[in-house]
Amino acid sequence: MTRLAASLYWQVIYQHRNGFYVASVVTVAMLVGLLSALPANIDLATKQVAVAVFTIFAVQITTFFFVGGILLLERGEGVLSAFAVSPLPPGEYLLARVVTLSVLATVDTFVIGAAITGASLDVALFVVGAFTLSIVFSCLGFAFFSRYAGLNEALMPSVLATVILSLPAIALASPAPFVAWNLHPTHAAMQLVAVAFGMNQNFGVIETLSLAGWIVGTAALARAAAQRLLAAAELQ
């Protein structure tokens, strides 16, 4: 087993032991229940917006907040100090967390989308959209929570951060959102998720470039945070 494969495997075990998968199942069940309670006579456009917004909310929980929980747990348990003196480089340390949580978020949100929309969901587009959105949220969550030592000091700022990161969801209710939304890190991925639900949203060259650019940019930001985090842990 390669070093990265071992890191991915043990990260899955760590997440399982700390109840992250149980929490994800509860989240999915709760959101499916809420969406199932939508009035039967609701128009299709409103239903699509509701499902897309709840899907984005599920991605936030499973990535941004989960990666924060993992970092705070590892710091509290002294695991970071062990990683700091291990041969595992910061990039692979980050990758193990981002990949595992992004896969989990994609599976969770697919269950939500499929349960509510059924055959109308474009599976390929949805998987790409949900996975890329998960990567962006995971990287931003890692960079954000790496600056905090405990949950209490991170709680309120994290709520504000997720509100700001969710602002492009407003554009989902508009058939022709402003191009300037692409300057926001989560907009393009949200647009792709919306298209997968059959919503009349724009996703062309500009959105593709925005999505690729933000994935690279947030990954670089998170890697720099991982490097600082492990360097600080090594000195402790």
DSSP letters spanning 191-225: HHHHHHTT-----SHHHHHHHHHHHHHHHHHHHHH
- The predicted pLDDT at position 131 comes to 96
Tell me how long the chain is: 236
The pLDDT value given to residue 79: 83
Taking the C-alpha atoms of residue 138 and residue 6, their distance in angstroms, rounded to an integer, is 20
**Could you give the number of structural domains in the chain?**
1
Q: What is the pLDDT of residue 119?
A: 60
> CA 155 → CA 74, 80, 228, distances in Å?
17, 21, 21
Rounded CA-CA distance 198/218 in Å is 28
Quick count: other Cβ atoms within 10 Å of Cβ 53? 19
pLDDT at 21: 96
Q: What is the pLDDT of residue 143?
A: 96
- Max intra-chain CA distance, the chain: 61
Report field, pTM of the whole predicted structure over 0.85: yes
Measured distance CA(66)–CA(64) in Å, rounded: 6
Residues 6+ positions from 219 with CB-CB distance below 8 Å: 94, 98, 135, 139
Helix 187-196 to helix 123-145 angle (10° resolution) is 150
Per-residue pLDDT of the chain (236 residues; tens, 9 = 90+): 588 888 999 999 999 999 999 999 999 999 999 888 878 777 777 777 788 888 888 999 999 999 999 999 988 888 888 887 788 889 999 999 999 999 999 999 999 888 887 667 888 999 999 999 999 999 999 999 999 988 889 989 999 999 999 888 877 776 666 788 889 999 999 989 888 888 777 788 999 999 999 999 999 999 999 999 888 876 56
Look up residue 187 and give its two tokens. 């907009």
| Range(s) of the domain holding residue 202 | 3-235
Neighbours of 175 (CB within 10 A): 11
Residues 31 and 37: their CA atoms lie apart, in Å, by: 10
- Dihedral angle, C-alpha 230, 58, 17, 135, nearest 10 °: -30
